[in-house]
Amino acid sequence: MSELIVGFQVMVSLAGHLQNIESEKQKLRSQVRRLCQENAWLRDELADTQQRLQQSEQRCVALDEERTHLQFMNEMRKYDPESSQQVAHYHCRHHHNHHHYLLFLQKSSQVEPCQISWL
């Protein structure tokens, strides 16, 4: 009869152990699902951030080209004594992801605005 009791205790112990293992497997599966979701979210965030970085770099290049062009135009005005145009004001504003540049050219006492749009 003691063999029967020992066998029963072993079976109860084994059943408890198997239940613990199954519970642990469920926890691990849940954690894997959560990690997969988090990984997908991080990939989306990375792609979005890379796209914003690329757009920012493109804007920087466009602004640098515009600055270089304006510097060149200012230098050309220095060497053109007959030119009555002088840069009076340069204003940059951001509007719907496009940069609009307002360049006001002064001719004698009259100020004329002209708008140049860059993507």
Residue 76 sits in the same domain as residue 105: no
Residue 62, CA distances (Å) to 15, 55, 57, 117 in order: 70, 11, 9, 11
Q: Could you give the number of structural domains in the chain?
A: 2
Residue 62 sits in the same domain as residue 30: yes
Residue 46 sits in the same domain as residue 9: yes
Residue 21 sits in the same domain as residue 59: yes
In the block, residue with structure tokens 């970085």: 53
Joined tokens for residue 15: 């059943």
Residue 77 sits in the same domain as residue 21: yes
Residue 33 sits in the same domain as residue 17: yes
Burial of 77 (0-12, 13-18, 19+ CB in 10 A): middle
Residue 22 sits in the same domain as residue 74: yes
User: Which domain, by its residues, includes 79?
Assistant: 1-83
Greatest CA span in the chain, whole angstroms? 121
pTM of the entire structure? Answer: 0.50
pLDDT tens per residue, the chain (119 residues)?
Answer: 788 888 889 999 999 999 999 999 999 999 999 999 999 999 999 999 999 999 999 999 999 999 999 999 999 988 876 654 444 444 444 444 444 444 443 333 344 444 444 44
